[in-house]
Chain A
């Protein structure tokens, strides 16, 4: 490999993403830098519009037009393909397609938009395998069934043939996780993976992500607006506000001794912390 073994898996340096025509002078993401070690979990937290999702999408080069990555580097050190700068990769580069879904996967907030409504759950996961691995369709099917089992979908053989609309929200999100992890990526980006779910499903899905992360050994970049989820899932946290990272560090330090006003505001917004303000 073309990098030292202890170098972080992901290093984002001075990333700047902007949407031409925006009223603001700055970008949607300005001067964002962070790094993520193998197997660790980093939470990017902020209010809606703070730039956390744009940052996540930039990593996979999925910033929707007219948005552009104006500056910065996204160094991804894969054990399989070596060190690459995703910010400067060509749009049509084969390497980019290898990264997407193979080395780095994304779980979206709303599972219904992440799944094709006209293909069965099984065939969509098969497709992910066939895209990244040179295996027979029968072997892909076996891997898919095994993965459906591992994400806690009972009666995998029956679910394999079902369509997304036939599944409950919780099962759909499990299917999306199966699809994201079936190629054993080195980095999983989870963009508000449980925001659309109720509390008990959220706990189950978060637990599942934790378990599979350990099994696969991937790092997780968790995008959320909920500091409760951050506290329970992440090792490190970066707080975003208006496109910039305003505070970052170890989860325990940041949540117990928040330094920046925005971090304190996010903590104060938690319903459990609001006893003094209302009532």
Chain B
């Protein structure tokens, strides 16, 4: 990946949260660096995994990139389909709306990310309505087509989210993200709430859609095993920083950073003869002590 211009170029991204004191006046007594000097590129058609423990800053990084929250500093250069590049970190809200057609998010919890009072047709069609891209029969056709594409029956579009299983709901979330034909999809733990078999089906679907629509993925996950075959490259985050970024092959075959090694050792192998590491707690504490 040399001559290709990146779709997304993140430079020195930082997000700090204030820490308040216990007193009545809630004085700011410090700050937490949730995202600390994060930089990486995403080339078209690639899937980059962002992995780490809870609290490592991976979700905050993803949210800052799509401006679901404002970063404290740094640059998020996003290339639009017409070739123009914009800095998402600095864009005004009004301009963001246009850009958001091209960068969408799939959320973790299919039970809380879909409005229970909206039918599937309304949920999936809403982005087109908001952006004024389709109405009436055209809207209905596009929703039906997208539902078919993600493996749902278009006849079920008048139903409400509660009538669907977790895996089906995640497909609804994917359909909603894809209906705008975006070039970048940020998946925030998109399969973590699903059981193994359903997770495998959703990952397969995302892979197929990637080929069909030339999608670029930023795939946030705590499970290293999930990114193993799904992602081309993997960035390992710890305490707001990327400690290692390499091809998925290299990360799994020859992890360099001690933190990556600990994360890998915590994955339970389905082979009873490859014992997992139950002592990750002590090893992480040692790593903390070492600085």
Interface on A for B, CB 8 Å cutoff? 47-48, 152, 169, 198-204, 206-207, 210, 225-232, 251-252, 255-256, 265-275, 277-279
Contact = CB atoms under 8 A, between A and B. Distances in A.
Interface stretch (B24-32, B177-185, B190-198): B190-198
Contact of B229 (A266, A267, A275): A275
Contact of B268 (A198, A228, A275): A228
A274 B270 contact: no
A225 B204 CA distance: 19
Contact of A279 (B165, B197, B229, B278): B229
Given A47-B197, A232-B275, 7 more contacts: A198-B54, A202-B268, A204-B280, A231-B272, A252-B273, A271-B199, A272-B225
B133 interface: no
B243 interface: no
A225 B199 CA distance: 11
B284 A200 contact: yes
B217 interface: no
Interface string B202-241: 0110010000000000000011111011100000000000
A35 to B, nearest CB: 21
A46 to B, nearest CB: 9
A228 B266 contact: no
Contacts of B275: 232
A271 B271 contact: no
Contact of B197 (A204, A229, A252, A269): A269
Contacts of B272: 231-232, 251-252, 255-256
A200 B266 contact: yes
B203 A207 contact: no
A41 B280 CA distance: 22
A270 B229 contact: no
B81 interface: no
Contacts of A266: 196-197
A48 B198 contact: yes
Contacts of A207: 278-279, 281
Interface string B99-111: 0000000000000
B276 interface: yes
B263 interface: yes
A102 B45 CA distance: 56
A271 B225 contact: yes
Nearest to B265: A203
B263 A277 contact: no
A48 B166 contact: yes
B230 A278 contact: yes
B54 A169 contact: yes
A201 B263 CA distance: 10
A231 B269 contact: yes
B270 A267 contact: yes
9 contacts: A198-B54, A226-B196, A231-B270, A255-B271, A255-B272, A270-B225, A270-B270, A271-B225, A277-B229
Give the 4 A-B residue pairs with the shortest CB-CB distance, closest first.
A207-B278, A228-B268, A198-B222, A203-B266
B53 interface: yes
Nearest to B267: A199
